[in-house]
């Protein structure tokens, strides 16, 4: 039995309620609306306004969105709460909200990786058809082999290692392409794994496609495809993390034994981009930048060398090499803190020379409270952070800093789910951060590995899971350009171009919607 005095003591410790309890239903409704408004006022999209025409389109969007949510929750097919590789993508592609988002001018993709941002369909067709392409496809699995079945590489005819077969011959075999696709993309088998297991599968994909991505002629064409798929998806700008550093990291080669390192790799990116731009007048306004990256498996001393490479490239290509990042799985690899001296050293060097190299670090891609990388990302003044979601649970002071500094989080919803950090996208921590006023952009990380292209699926997923409206989408699109690493002149031009395309799309949609109603 609880003593009366104990109850009285406990109640005395309760904080004073800031809102008086409303006495009537009318008072209650006013107070309730007040709290809803206060909540909305903190959101990342609070300052965006809609024109009357946009409000009209918003009403259609909300109606389409709610129809999907209502119906799919009723029949059990609601996708955002399920594992991505179980989604019925054919059904989703024909869903009206998806179709609206697919054509919508979405601004920029600010977080993606060079070897996984093009189309896997291109890789399995045109890529495999390229001269000198072989796939490791032994008749019998050899447990001793260090080469993974499904590894794609390029050789001269007289120097093909055992176990490799010409890709153009293999593709004519029944079931080969489907089987190879399973080796170089993630699948629903990962659904039952934890993040460690998911990363193992993921890393296996990069080991298999790595040799092909290092073959310059193949990679050149892969880049052309990368620009194609982004442009076709209503995007104006792309920033890609590209592995590039000391000791041959990111080098490209060809069948004649030529080698491209450092600046020559950057020149390859530029050459591919210029070739793509000049292939159609409609490509004229698309922009592309590179964020030089190394791997978190690098020891701190190598990290300094990689930073030196990145700074030299930034100096030579100031409008093309726009930042630096350290990528790969965070938890088992080096903490950002392990690299802090190298970063501070780089800052000192840059202060002396007047150079700037923004750090766009992958940090906080974790569910682990011991992963304090977000603390370092904030102290190192990253303008944008890759993922950065574990501060939603564990580091409220970091969250405050993000808001004060205006730091942007690059949220990759489907990637986070595929790699088992998040279950239902309804409870993705990005929602908690965005609705509390942290700036976010939506990106796709490694769509090539996940088996899709473009941003439509990620945009669709958060539109459904977070009940986003046109105000949110307009903010996400505009912010992706505003928070890009474009220089001020390019940024102004890009935003103006996007505004024109956005307004035309909205007007066109409104006209069609009116015609259907009439
Ligand atoms: Zn990433």
In a domain, 30, yes or no: no
Give CA–CA dist 223/226, Å, rounded: 5
Cα–ligand 1 centroid distance for 44 (angstroms): 22
288 pairs with which residues across the strands? 238
Structure tokens at 218: 């193949």
**Reported confidence tier of residue 7, pLDDT bands at 50, 70, 90:** very low
Give the range of the structural domain holding residue 438, as residue numbers without chain letter. Answer: 89-125+195-502
Q: Which residue has the higher pLDDT, 5 or 469?
A: 469
Task: Report how far residue 353's alpha carbon sits from residue 6's, in angstroms, rounded to the nearest whole number.
Answer: 67
Look at residue 300 in the predicted model and tell me its pLDDT.
93
259 lies in some domain: yes
Q: Residue 143 falls within a domain, yes or no?
A: no
Is 182 among the domain residues? no
Cα 40 to ligand 1 centre (Å): 30
Please state, in angstroms and as integers, the Cα–Cα distance from residue 29 to each residue in 39, 150, 258, following that order.
15, 62, 73
- Classify burial at 35, counting beta carbons within 10 Å of its beta carbon; exposed 0-12, middle 13-18, buried 19 or more: exposed
Are the CB atoms for 309 and 246 separated by under 8 Å? Answer: yes
Q: Is residue 212 part of a domain?
A: yes
317 falls within a domain: yes
Is residue 266 assigned to a domain?
A: yes
Q: Assign residue 247 the CATH number of its domain.
A: 3.20.20.140
Residues 6+ apart with CB under 8 A from 134: 152, 153, 154, 155, 160, 164, 165, 166, 167
Q: Give tens-digit pLDDT for 195-207.
A: 999 999 999 999 9
The CA 191 to ligand 1 mean position distance, Å, reads: 20
In what helix (H) or strand (E) does residue 410 lie, and over which residues does it extend?
strand 408-411
pLDDT one-digit tens code per residue, 425-444? 999 999 999 999 999 999 99
Domain count, the chain: 1
267-300 pLDDT per residue, tens: 999 999 999 999 999 999 999 999 999 999 989 9
Cα of 329 from ligand 1 centre, angstroms: 9
Locate 273 and state its tokens.
């981009």
- The strand order across the sheet containing 439-442 reads 362-363, 384-387, 408-411, 439-442
Q: Report which DSSP code applies to 247.
A: T
Is residue 434 within 8 Å of residue 440, measured between CB atoms? yes
Centre of ligand 1 from the C-alpha of residue 411, in Å? 10
| pLDDT tens column, 398-414 | 999 999 999 999 999 99
Rounded distance between C-alpha atoms, residue 341 and residue 301, angstroms:
10
Residues 6 or more apart in contact with residue 301 via CB below 8 angstroms: none
CA 112 to ligand 1 center in whole angstroms = 6
Average pLDDT, the chain: 94
pLDDT digits (tens, 9 = 90+) for 226-276: 999 999 999 999 999 999 999 999 999 999 999 999 999 999 999 999 999
Q: How confident is the model at residue 19 (pLDDT cuts 50, 70, 90)?
A: low
CA of 446 to the centre of ligand 1 (A): 7
CA distance 193 to 369: 20
* Cα 435 to ligand 1 centre (Å): 23
Cα separation, 433 vs 43, whole angstroms = 9
What's the CA-to-centroid distance between 502 and ligand 1, angstroms? 27
Q: Span 328-349, mean pLDDT?
A: 92
Cα(83) to ligand 1 centroid in Å equals 19
* pLDDT of 142: 80
Q: In the predicted model, what is the mean pLDDT of residues 355-367?
A: 94
Burial 165-200 (b: 16+ CB within 10 A, else e): bbbeebbeeeebbeebbebbbbeeebbeeebeebbe
Band (pLDDT 50/70/90 cuts) for residue 450 is: very high
The percentage of the chain sitting over the pLDDT mark of 70, rounded to a whole number, equals 96
- The C-alpha angle with vertex 517 and arms to 516 and 518, in degrees rounded to 5, equals 95
CA 450 – ligand 1 centroid, Å = 13
Q: What's the 452 CA to ligand 1 centre distance in angstroms?
A: 16
CA of 327 to the centre of ligand 1 (A): 7
Residues 6+ apart with CB under 8 A from 487: 319
More confident residue, 462 or 139: 462
The pLDDT of residue 331: 82
Is 471 within the bounds of a domain? yes
pLDDT the model gives residue 13 = 54
Res. 2 pLDDT band, cuts 50 70 90: very low
CA dist list (Å): 473 to 16, 69, 428: 39, 18, 17
Distance CA(98)–CA(92), nearest Å, equals 7
């Amino acid at each position: 039995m609880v003593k009366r005095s104990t109850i009285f003591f406990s109640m005395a410790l309760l904080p004073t309620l800031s809102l008086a309890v409303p006495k009537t239903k009318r008072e209650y409704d006013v107070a309730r609306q007040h709290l809803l408004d206060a909540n909305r006022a903190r959101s990342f999209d609070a300052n965006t306004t809609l024109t009357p025409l946009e409000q009209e389109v918003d009403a259609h969007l909300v109606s389409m969105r709610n129809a999907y949510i209502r119906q799919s929750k009723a029949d059990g097919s609601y996708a955002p709460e399920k594992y991505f590789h179980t989604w019925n993508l054919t059904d989703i592609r024909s869903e009206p909200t998806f179709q609206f988002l697919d054509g919508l001018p979405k601004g920029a993709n600010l977080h993606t990786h060079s070897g996984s941002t093009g189309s896997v369909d291109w890789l399995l067709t045109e890529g495999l058809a390229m001269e000198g392409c072989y796939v490791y496809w032994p008749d019998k699995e050899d447990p001793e082999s260090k080469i993974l079945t499904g590894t794609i590489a390029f050789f001269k005819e007289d120097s093909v290692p055992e176990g490799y077969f010409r890709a153009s011959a293999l593709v004519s075999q029944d079931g080969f392409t489907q089987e190879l696709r399973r080796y170089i993309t993630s699948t629903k088998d990962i659904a039952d794994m934890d993040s460690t297991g998911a990363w193992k599968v993921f890393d296996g994909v990069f080991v298999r496609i790595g040799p092909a991505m290092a073959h310059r002629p193949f990679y050149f064409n892969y880049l052309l495809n990368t620009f194609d798929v982004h442009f076709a998806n209503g995007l104006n700008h792309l920033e890609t993390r590209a592995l590039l550093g000391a000791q041959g990291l990111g080098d490209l080669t060809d069948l004649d034994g030529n080698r491209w390192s450092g600046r020559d790799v950057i020149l390859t990116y530029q050459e591919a981009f210029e070739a793509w731009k000049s292939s159609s007048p409609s490509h004229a306004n698309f922009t592309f930048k590179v964020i030089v990256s190394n791997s978190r498996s690098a020891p701190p001393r190598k990290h300094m060398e990689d930073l030196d490479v990145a700074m030299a490239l930034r100096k030579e290509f100031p409008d093309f090499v726009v930042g630096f990042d350290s990528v790969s799985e965070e938890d088992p690899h080096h903490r950002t803190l392990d690299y802090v001296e190298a970063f501070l050293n780089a800052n000192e060097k840059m202060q002396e020379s007047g150079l700037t190299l923004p750090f766009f670090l992958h940090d906080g891609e974790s569910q682990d409270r011991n992963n304090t990388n977000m603390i370092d990302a904030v102290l190192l003044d990253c303008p944008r952070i890759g993922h950065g979601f574990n501060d939603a649970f564990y580091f409220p002071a970091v969250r405050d800093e993000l808001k004060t500094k205006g730091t942007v989080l690059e949220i990759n919803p489907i990637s986070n789910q595929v790699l088992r950090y998040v279950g239902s996208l309804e409870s993705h921590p990005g929602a908690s951060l965005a609705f509390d006023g942290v700036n976010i952009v939506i990106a796709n990380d490694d769509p090539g590995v996940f088996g899709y292209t473009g941003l439509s699926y990620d945009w669709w997923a958060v539109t459904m899971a977070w009940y986003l409206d046109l105000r949110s989408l307009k903010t996400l699109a505009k912010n992706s350009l505003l928070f890009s690493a474009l220089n001020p002149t390019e940024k102004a031009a890009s935003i103006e171009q996007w505004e024109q395309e956005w307004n035309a799309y909205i007007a066109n949609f409104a006209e069609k919607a009116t015609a259907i109603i009439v």
